[in-house]
Amino acid sequence: MKTNQIFLIALVATLSAAAQGQAQNSGSMAFKNLDKAGNIIGMVITDSRNQRVGKVKDLAVDMQGGSVAEVLVDTGGFLTSKQRIIAVPPQSLNFANSGQGLRLSADIDTFDNAPEFGISSWDLSTASSSVMDVYRRFHVQPNSNLGELAPASKIVGQVAENEWTQRMGKVQDLVVDLPSGQMPVVIIASSGFLGIKGPLTAVPPQAFLYDAEYNILILDTTKKALRNAPHFKANEWRYGVNNSLSPSAIQDGLLVLRSLNTNSSDTSEADTQGDNVITLEIEHKILAADGLSMDARHVLVTTLNGRVTLRGIADTEKEKQQLSAIAASVVPIDRVDNRIEVKVFAVATAL
């Protein structure tokens, strides 16, 4: 992953403008239905007649866009002859008066006749064309420029590292405003002393890079920046999140953590440019190498202060060592950290 100072500046400006334009008397952004994804998953959904139609199985979230693209509903056999998973736009759901469930605002026939969402074929089911079809079916205006979607249940509990491969903490939950389809922050529990869970911090989802193929979650910041960000306790999460979304907090840079290439204590501009050159040269040599599998050709290469880290999957130990050798042709071998995993193949042996 390559950090991008322009992106971080634009993100600060966008969030600041949104906060100023949507501020309430409390000074927070105008989110009316903030709740944690962990609370929403499993909620019962009823229709306008107060008849149960299913429950929330998962949320399809766009980390880079900071949004909930789809709510995956497990019909549980209700209203149909068999159990099905259906994708519904979040805008088609509202919290029931009791606050313990969700109410379907869409026409029940539209819901009943919706096609099944294929959990086992996630990439196909969350392709742009499939998502747009869901929004058209439910007569909802889609969010523009949807990115790659991931299951919320897979993000929650995921350990996040930075580009130094330092453990930053674990994602405790995602905070969403379901009826608007927004996901303003991710709650991360910092890594404390001897692995004990540390304080909670609200971080914008855009600060993360999630690689679904290799199940890697990278938080684009330093341990020092995360330590200096505002913290809150688990039972104060609403206060902590709303405080992090206040216009002053955003403008002061408390929410959007500093990118690696803007932290002069970690690396200089010249070092960053040199690291990028090293990464590009190694990636080019990997793509040009003979005999590598498709997985090996798409390993993740990161460089920091001249030290190269390789992450991903290789078919064999020999292939893993070949990737080390390629990196070592650009930098000294003692500056290569090979964290590639080798596939394990089942071999049937005749007795």
* DSSP H or E stretch at residue 153: helix 152-155
CB contact set of 230 (below 8 Å; sequence gap of 6+): 201, 202, 240, 243, 244, 249, 254
**pLDDT, tens digit, 9 for 90 and up, residues 289-324:** 888 988 788 788 888 888 999 988 888 999 999 999
What's residue 248's pLDDT? 56
Query: pLDDT at residue 330 above 90?
Result: yes
Q: Is the pLDDT of residue 110 over 70?
A: yes
Residue 208 has pLDDT above 90, yes or no: no
Q: What is the pLDDT of residue 125?
A: 95
Least confident of 82-91, 120-129, 342-351: 342-351
Residue 192: pLDDT band with limits 50, 70, 90: low
pLDDT reported for residue 249:
59
Q: Considering all CA atoms of the chain, what is the largest pairwise distance in Å, rounded to the nearest integer?
A: 76
| Mean of pLDDT over the chain | 79
| Residue labelled with tokens 């840079």 | 253
Residue 267 contacts residue 40 (beta carbons within 8 Å) = no
Crossing angle for the helix pair 317-328 and 269-288, to the nearest 10 degrees = 130
Over 90: is that where the pLDDT of 237 sits? no
Quick one: pLDDT at residue 43?
95
Q: Could you report the per-residue pLDDT of 12-66, keeping only the tens digit for each? A: 444 444 444 444 434 445 677 899 999 999 999 999 898 999 999 999 999 988 9
Whether the model clears a pTM of 0.75, i.e. scores above it, the answer is no
Show the domains of the chain with their CATH numbers.
Answer: 5-31+156-259 (2.30.30.240), 35-149 (2.30.30.240), 269-342 (3.30.1340)
In whole angstroms, give the CA distance from residue 165 to residue 168: 9
Per-residue confidence (pLDDT) for residue 76, from 0 to 100: 78
Residues 45 and 54 sit within 8 Å (Cβ to Cβ): yes
Residue 305 to residues 177, 283, 344: CA-CA distances in angstroms?
A: 40, 17, 33
- Tokens found for residue 5: 């100072």
256-296 pLDDT tens trace: 444 333 443 444 544 556 777 888 889 889 988 888 988 78
